[in-house]
Structure 1
Amino acid sequence: MPPRPAGTDGSDWSYREVIEDRYKRMAVNMSASLLLHQIQSLAVVLKLAWLCIPVYISEGNPNQFLWALLALLVVGNVCFYLGKPRGRCVLPLMKVAASCVLITVSLTFISFWKMYVMEPKTSLYSRRLYKFLKDQGRASSPTTLEVLKTVEGLVDVFVLAGCGVCFFVLNNWVKDAMELVKEREQRNKAAAGSAAAAPKKKR
């Protein structure tokens, strides 16, 4: 059996309570991560659909953010589900999945800042779609433009919020798992050292 952690004895429950709390927290975080990862994936899919507006209105190819978000979505989901979140998890894959979510948040924020701050308002997808619909005679009311602008903003907020919360919860699980792996390795090393020292004492 591995040696008892330093500073504990048979009546010391603090170490055991810390470990039990960590396992409970990890179970809660993983259950939440399963749902949150699906939500953030849905948010990214909606964002990808919105970024395809230039194709729909025949104004050329989507911008570079679409391909980056698509790659992150595919890689993140593959790593997340290959990591077996319902069973024994593969920690390196879960790290990659968490990193993909974080990069998605960063790219969405950059895209948000670029579209709303750096570029003219006429470049907004909502305005371009409204102009297309107006030219087609399918929309003429200013209310339609306001609705499209609201949808555009909600999609961006949905992606930022969904991915942000998902990364926070998933990253907490990854950190707890890394700490457990580190502690297990330390216990194994201590046990191996004790086993190697035992024959010498008998001699």
Structure 2
Amino acid sequence: MQQRKAGRPSGTDGSDFSYRMVVDSRYTKVAKGKSRLKALIFIQGIFQLIELLYVVLPISKGKDPNILAVSSSVIGLISLLIGELGRRRSRAGFLRFYLAVSTITVLLSIFCAVSSSSTLETG
């Protein structure tokens, strides 16, 4: 039996290291996009928690809860979880669902904020 020599593989002179170390640009784009998405999901999570505080405070004072605001908060938190799963596992379907549901959640939150501020001005 022949034994292999230790050292560099046959057929290379050691000068092809730069070729082997290059990462394709599409993989770097994906990595940058995932890190950007991670930051955006984190920021949206902070806003969802702030919104949840604004929903819980009137309830703790004995006022009736705004059903639309409560459902918007709950749906938003669920969409954040699905978005994070889609980001980690690179699932396009999860990310599309996250995009659609979080858009609806943001629109509902804006509607609730505008309607509550208009009732505060008249009340």
TM-score by shorter chain over 0.5: yes
Instruction: Give the gaps of 5 or more residues in structure 1.
Output: 1-18, 124-203
Q: Which of 84, 99, 109 lines up with 1:81 in the alignment?
A: 84
The answer for the alignment partner of 1:92 in structure 2 is: 93
Letter of the aligned partner of 1:105 in structure 2?
V
How much identity, in percent, do the aligned residues show?
A: 19
2:41 paired with 1:40: no
Q: How many residues are treated as equivalent by the alignment? A: 100
1:63 maps to 67
Distance in 2 (alpha carbons) for counterparts of 1:31 and 1:48: 26
The Cα of 1:53 is off from its aligned counterpart by: 1.9
Normalization by structure 1: what TM-score? 0.43
Do 1:54 and 1:62's aligned partners in 2 also have CA atoms closer than 8 Å?
no
Q: Could you tell me how far 1:28 is from its partner in structure 2?
A: 1.6
1:120, distance to aligned residue in structure 2 (A): 4.1
Quick one: which amino acid aligns to residue 42 of structure 1?
I
Task: Judge conservation of contact 2:82–2:94 (CA < 8 Å) in 1.
Answer: yes
Give the 4+ runs in structure 1 shifted more than 3 A: 22-26
Deviation of residue 40 (structure 1)?
0.8
RMSD between aligned residues: 2.3
| Distance of aligned partners of 1:55 and 1:112 in 2 relative to their CA distance in 1, 3 Å threshold | closer
Say which SS state the counterpart of residue 52 (structure 1) adopts. Answer: helix
Match of 2:33 among 29, 36, 39: 29
Structure 2 unaligned regions, length at least 5: 1-23
Query: Quick one: distance in 1 between partners of 2:117 and 2:29?
Result: 39
**CA-CA distance at 1:82 after TM superposition:** 2.6
1:133-187 residue CA offsets vs partner (Å, 9 max, x unmatched): xxxxxxxxxxxxxxxxxxxxxxxxxxxxxxxxxxxxxxxxxxxxxxxxxxxxxxx
- In terms of fraction of residues, the more helix-rich structure is 1
Give runs of aligned pairs for residues 118-129 of structure 1, distance below 5 A: 119-121=119-121
Give TM-score, length-normalised by structure 2: 0.66
Higher RCO (C-alpha 8 Å, min separation 6): 1
Kindly report which structure 2 residues correspond to 1:123-162, keeping only aligned pairs within 5 A, or say none.
none
2:102 paired residue number: 101
